[in-house]
Structures are given as C-alpha cells and as structure tokens.
Structure 1
Amino acid sequence: MLLDLPGLPAVQELVGAPVGDLRDRWAALDAEQLEAEIQKYKAALSQVLEGLKRLGVEPGEDEAADGEEAEGQEGIEGVDWRYGSVEELDPAEWQVPPHCIPIHANVTTYDWSRLIAACQFDVIMMDPPWQLATANPTRGVALGYSQLTDQHIAQLPIPRLQRNGLLFVWVINAKYQSCLDLFDQWGYELVDEIVWVKMTVNRRLAKSHGFYLQHAKEVCLVARKGEDPPGMRSGVGSDVIYSERRGQSQKPEEIYQLIEKLVPYGKYLEIFGRKNNLRNFWVTVGNEVTGQGPPKEDQRALQEGLRIPNAVYGRAG
C-alpha cells in the first residue's frame, strides 16, 4: 500500500530522478533558486519523517537496503560539502585553537605583500576550489566561498611565499595535469603524492560520483621548490591515509600530523582554509576562517548588488 504522507511525492521525485538530470537542472539555477530547491526537499523530507514517526516507524541512521550498512553519502567529485549552519555542529569541532593565526580574506584580492615580507614558509598547503564543468559554481555566492578559475589560482603568489620548501596541493582527477602545469609555472618539481582514503563512521568506503568510477579518495600532490626545508625528516609516515570524512572541505587530521612530523617546528601556511581547518602554529588564509560568512569587502560587494571579486557565476565550462 502506498503511504499517504505529506512531502512524499517531492522526495520520490528527488530519489527517482537520474543523478545526471538533477545535476544539469541544478547547475542552471542561480544561488537563490538553488537554495529554494534545497529547502523544498529538506521540508519534504522532514514531513515524511514526521509522518513515519506518527505511524510508529523510527528510521535508523545506519539502516540500509537489504540489511547492508550504508557506504557513505554520494556526491560530486571534488565537492565535499553540504548546506548547514554553525549551530548544527558540535562546538568542540569549531573551537578556535589558541596558537593559530587566521587571516579572514578573499585570497584573490588579499594584499599578500605584508605576509611575504614577514615570513617565508617551509610548508604551504592548499585545497583550491577547482572549477568543474559538472559542478554548480554559484555555491561560492551562497556560502561566501568563491569557486575560481584556474587562471585565478595560477595568479596566487606562491613562489614569493616560499624560497625553499614543500607545497601540498589537493587535486581532483580532472585537474591533475593543470596542477602539474602550475608546478612548472611556479618553479616547483613534483616529489610525491598522498592518498586519503575516505571512510564512513562504520569504516566503509565513503564513495562519491566520478565520471567512470565511484570515487572514495582524494589525492594531495607534494612538490618542492629549491632545497628541502631546514630540519626535514624523511620517511616519517605513509603516503596513504585512512580517515573518516568530516566537516565541509575538512581534510583529515593526519595530513597536518604528517606535515608536522616531516618538517618539525616549521613555518606552516594553509590557503583556502575554513574555520574547521584552523590549527595551532599554522597561518590560515581564507574567506571563511571565522565561520560567519565572507570578508567585509565581499559582503559589501553583495550588498551593493555587485559580485564577489573573482567569483564564478552560472554554469562552468
């Protein structure tokens, strides 16, 4: 018997639609329309869950079809995020470390000259918001996180921030060659790579969509400029990390531990960081390091009806 639950038709529409069709439809929406679409399905799902509870059904978080454990929420390659608010998270996850240095800025318009004059970094790590033809770049407007073109990323003053040292760049399959080209442009050589195998809380693979195969990993390319940083220790850890997928664009704790073992007491910089990336003894630059929206200049641009500087709007590609 088909249950007569409010919101069920909308949920069935979402679940039954081919992923490719949904992706194409949502990619054509602007930020406001996309938010409205998300809220519609969230409301419909809440109605269904409330209806099930009234019928005495309590859906379990770990239940899955055929009695098998769920293997993780599927998403789009390179887009490991969801809409939400800080209030939904455990405050312990958002405690600002006492010895970190957060810099709240749009990395494409930030005046890097003062930081360059003050410090040369032994290690730089960044997780660029690589632009995908299949992803919706308007999330940068809604979340205060600009998805940039490869050219914008290439214009970052990485070579001026580091005379000698290591550069860690998280990369997706579609941008692997682009990242290698950036290394050549910036004067770096590829020396290694790290693979993060994403796990669920049940220690299963946390899969996401790929073009040919489902993806359950992320790759961080390691490059070097000039000489090894002072005090570097080789062979201190594995190039494979097994770790749970955590918050929005939050990399595993193990990558920071590995870097700090590799270059102990070094000068560390993370670019494109968010509040949940803040770490003691690291300088973190990003337009969401406060967890409360974009920098004032970006907020002002939006209020005046303008665009966030260097944000990408509409369908990519």
Structure 2
Amino acid sequence: MKRGGGGGRGFSGGSRGGFQGRGVQNRGAPFGSFGMSGGLDGGAPMMMEMGQAEPMFMGGGGQGMMDSLPGPPGMMMGGDPMQGLSRGFPGTPGRPLGPMGGPRPMGGPPPMGGLPLAGDPQRIGGSDGNGFAFGFDSFGGPGEAQNGGSGPGRGGSRGRFGGRGRGGSSGRRNSGGHLSSGPSRGEQNDYCQHFVDTGERPQNFLRDVHLMDRYEEYPKMRELIQRKDDLVAQKATPPYYLNADLKELKLSVATFGTKFDVVLVDPPWEEYARRAPGIDVPSWAWQDIMKLEIEAIVDVPSFVFLWCGSAEGLDAGRHCLKKWGFRRCEDICWIKTNAEAARKVAARQDAHAVLQHTKEHCLMGIKGMVRRAQDGHIIHANVDTDIIVAEEPPFGSTRKPDEIYSLIEHFSLGRRRLELFGEDHNIRPGWVTIGNALTGSNFNVQTYAAHFADESGRPHISSGGRPPPGAPHLLGSTPEIEELRPRSP
C-alpha cells in the first residue's frame, strides 16, 4: 500500500454493507481515511483502500481481515480488540490483533465488541441488520470515513459508525430469517435478472400502485378522488345487464332508448386464444369486431375505450376507432404484475412474440370536440394517469382491472355508460353490460331511458353537439370538487 495524505474508500462486498470515506489530501498525514464494508452472511469478500493505495482485497473476513491494519501501536477501538468482529466471518486464519492504543469511540451503540454473528437479525448501530460499515478518521491527519450507502464520505476530522449500513443494495431474508444472497449476480437491484431467475416481474416491486394508498402523500388529490367517487355512486343508475350475442343484437337507439356517452369494449381478440393453449377461449376476427355498429349508439361528444391486447389489436384497434367515427386521443397501458400468482410463469403469451409480454393496451377515442378550459361540465381531465398497474388474471382469463371503471367515471361526466362483451364480474352500478357470457338479464328500455328524462319527463336521447350544463344525462359537480380538480394551464 502507498502512504500519503490521500483518502481511503470502502467498497461494498458481495453481500450487504458498505461505505465510502475520504481523507483530505496533502495535509502532511501519513494516511487518509480508512474504509471497509462487508455483509453479515459470512463469505462476502472485503475490499478496502487506505490513503491513495490501490484497493486491497481482504478475503472472506475473519481475524485475518484485520491483519494489515496500519496505525500507531496501542490503538484500541472500544471493548475487546475486535471481539465479535473476528467471529462469525469465516475466512483465512489470522493473527490476534495487538493493542492499538487508547480507546476510540466509534459512534452510537452497540460497541464494536457487540456486533452480532452471521445471520443475527438484531440491529447494529441504527442499521437494519443487513450489513455493517465502519471507518476511522485519518491516521495522523484530517479525514473522514462515513458509512450509509454508496456515496463518498466528506472530509473531516472524525470517523463515524452507524446509519443504514447498506452498500448500495437492499437485502432480503430467507424463510429462516437469515440473510440470503441475491439472484445470479449477488445482492443488487437487478430486477431484470431477478425476472429471468424467478419469473417475478420487475413491476411487482412498484409501490403505492393501488387506488387505496396511491395518494397517501397528496391529501388534496385523495380528497378529490373520494369526493368524485361519492358523487358517482350517488348519481349512478342501478346496474343493468343483458344476455345477448353481439353478432346478432342490433346496436341502435331503439334497443336502448337513448344514446351513450361512454362505451367500453373488451372484444375477444384472437390473441387471447393463442396465449392460452389448451383452453377454449372464444375469439373474433378483428374484421368482425370492426363491424359492430357502435357509431349508431354514441352521442356527440362521446368516448370509447377499446381493449386491444398487445399484438394485432394495436393496429386493428385504430381501424375500428376510425370506422366507428372516433379519433384516438389516448393509449392507456395496463402493466401486469404476478406477485400473487401461485407459480411464477415467465412466458405466458403468443409463441410468435419476440419479447416477454407483460402489459396490454386500451385505446381511448373521442367523438366530437371538448375543451378542457370550457367543458368542465363534460370532462375532468388530468385526474388519473394513463398507467394501470394490476395483477394478471389466472391463466386463460381475459378479465381486465377494475381501475378502468374508476378512470372512466372520474374523467367523463356523462352518466350513460355501456360495456360490450361483459361477464358477470363486469356488472356495475351506472353501467349497462351486454354479453353472451352473462347468466341473466334485467335490462328494460323504458326503465333505463327514464333515468335521463328532462323536466318535462321526456327521455334525453342525443345532444347533437356540446350539451349545456345541467343536462339530465350529465353527472354534475360540486364546489368542493371544482376547487380541488386540476385546471387547464
């Protein structure tokens, strides 16, 4: 090792723990700072640097880890000389440490003699039990060694011990409570490699993705969403559903008694059947999906939300929107997690796919014209995002996340909502659900149209353009919601 007034750096080993420290150069000191890192699960390599020396590997730990510590004779580190630190780190045998001087406090409790053995889950000096890191100030000159992550220590006159004791990576424990090594390439936040090893998708580790806890740190947004949900529930019609084959049912005003403000379509794309071999999943050709006469039952303005998978539906869906008289305005992406799956399956998809498919798309189309600044009685923009993170359904199921309903109801203030190709789990207040997989029917034309009657009792069928505020088919708003909701810049 070189001697000089340089700084020392500690590096994280193959396991958890680590810090970096630096001394102040050219201050006449024989050494800068000293840094070291290591894990508590036994055989992690140690690396350290003293002064301006090249990194020195200390092997697997053990007593030999401290053999080459320089410094004035007689320096002690509190407690017995490295008692406990020399235990629990299997490695090359080493010489017992000689006396190293007077006592030197190392920061908060516990002292160095109280370090736990490998796998001991107790906390160390404010750490979380995932590793340790410690440092000395410079031997004979100013410097500092500081732990707590991968960032460098700042120059100073003191050494520190404590903090989180992580070496830039998070640790995990196995079922026995002991620290375990990471997948394939050591402990690191390599979620792609983790996916290859286990089939557990990277998006499983996203935080606060559920509606219940998404806005915990944004109280105004949380209040807005709650108020909108309450208003939607208050003004929603009873759930209506109709068992019918959409290849035979004629979509018209005569069938429903009115036009719709929102249509949600979840067609049985051929992709769904291909990615579930061995299961009888009904499917339609995209040309048959495009033949649906949705243009005959939508008002102006209105919106369509079309689930289109992740294969041919991405292109075919745009042709469908154009035929139905809509222009695409958004692309909502459902990112599928598999955290709750009994068995992690890395590839569950079309055999012709090039990449692993872990998402689906929902194209949003608009008919007519709405302006965010002027049409606050028709739409409330920027309340939700275009990303949905939700668990993938069981193998063979084409069920979509329920969050799509909340997104639609928060955005569109039209109360006439229709879903095509629905199943029993899709039945929802405020919606009319149609599909041949439904187990029953309760839809009545006159009863449904009566929910949107004007003051004279005449059902509202179509606006024929921009509806005025207070139209019977609109949800309305409240002063509190108007105060909280985002505005157009």
The answer to whether the Cα contact below 8 Å between 1:137 and 1:147 also exists between their aligned partners in 2 is no
Structure 1 distance, partners of 2:254, 2:348, is: 37
Structure 1, gaps ≥5 residues long: 1-64, 73-96, 293-317
Q: 1:276 to 1:153 in 2, by over 3 A?
A: same
Comparing both chains, which one has the higher relative contact order based on Cα–Cα distances under 8 Å and sequence gaps of 6 or more? Answer: 1
Structure 1 distance, partners of 2:345, 2:262, is: 30
Q: Is residue 209 of structure 1 aligned with residue 349 of structure 2?
A: yes
Name the structure 1 match of 2:200.
Answer: 71
Name the structure 1 match of 2:148.
Answer: none
Q: Is residue 161 of structure 1 aligned with residue 297 of structure 2?
A: yes
The answer to whether the Cα contact below 8 Å between 2:336 and 2:391 also exists between their aligned partners in 1 is yes
Structure 1 distance, partners of 2:276, 2:340, is: 32
AA of the residue aligned to 1:288: A
TM-score, length of structure 2 as denominator length: 0.37
In the TM superposition, residue 121 of structure 1 has moved relative to its aligned partner by: 0.9
Name the structure 2 match of 1:174.
Answer: 312
Aligned-residue sequence identity (percent) comes to 28
AA of the residue aligned to 2:366: R
1:50-61 mapped onto 2 (5 Å cutoff): none
Structure 2 distance, partners of 1:114, 1:206, is: 46
AA of the residue aligned to 2:252: S
Task: Select the residue among 437, 445, 456 that pairs with 1:288.
Answer: 437
Q: Is residue 135 of structure 1 aligned with residue 277 of structure 2?
A: no
Name the structure 1 match of 2:401.
Answer: 252
Equivalent residue of 2:312, what SS?
helix
The answer to whether the Cα contact below 8 Å between 2:314 and 2:361 also exists between their aligned partners in 1 is no
Deviation by residue 1:31-90 (Cα, 9 ceiling, x = unmatched): xxxxxxxxxxxxxxxxxxxxxxxxxxxxxxxxxx99975538xxxxxxxxxxxxxxxxxx
Structure 2 distance, partners of 1:284, 1:124, is: 10
Number of corresponding residues = 201
In the TM superposition, residue 244 of structure 1 has moved relative to its aligned partner by: 1.3
Structure 1 distance, partners of 2:329, 2:381, is: 12
1:260-271 mapped onto 2 (5 Å cutoff): 260-264=409-413, 266-271=415-420
Task: Select the residue among 237, 254, 259 that pairs with 1:120.
Answer: 259
Name the structure 2 match of 1:36.
Answer: none
TM-score, length of structure 1 as denominator length: 0.55
Q: 1:133 to 1:270 in 2, by over 3 A?
A: closer
Deviation by residue 1:166-204 (Cα, 9 ceiling, x = unmatched): 110011322222111122222211100100111123499
Considering only aligned residues, what root-mean-square deviation do their CA atoms show, in Å? 3.6
Structure 2 distance, partners of 1:155, 1:209, is: 27
1:160-239 mapped onto 2 (5 Å cutoff): 160-164=296-300, 165-172=302-309, 173-202=311-340, 208-210=348-350, 211-228=353-370, 231-239=378-386
Q: Identify which range, 200-209 or 167-176, moves more after superposition.
A: 200-209
Equivalent residue of 1:122, what SS?
strand
In the TM superposition, residue 134 of structure 1 has moved relative to its aligned partner by: 7.7
The answer to whether the Cα contact below 8 Å between 1:100 and 1:280 also exists between their aligned partners in 2 is yes
The answer to whether the Cα contact below 8 Å between 1:131 and 1:137 also exists between their aligned partners in 2 is no
Structure 2, gaps ≥5 residues long: 1-182, 185-193, 202-235, 442-489
Structure 1 distance, partners of 2:261, 2:272, is: 34
Equivalent residue of 1:123, what SS?
strand
The answer to whether the Cα contact below 8 Å between 1:251 and 1:277 also exists between their aligned partners in 2 is no
Structure 2 distance, partners of 1:255, 1:206, is: 25
Query: Larger helix proportion, structure 1 or 2?
Result: 1
The answer to whether the Cα contact below 8 Å between 2:263 and 2:419 also exists between their aligned partners in 1 is yes
Deviation by residue 1:196-216 (Cα, 9 ceiling, x = unmatched): 111123499986325101111
Structure 1 distance, partners of 2:273, 2:438, is: 27
Equivalent residue of 2:274, what SS?
coil
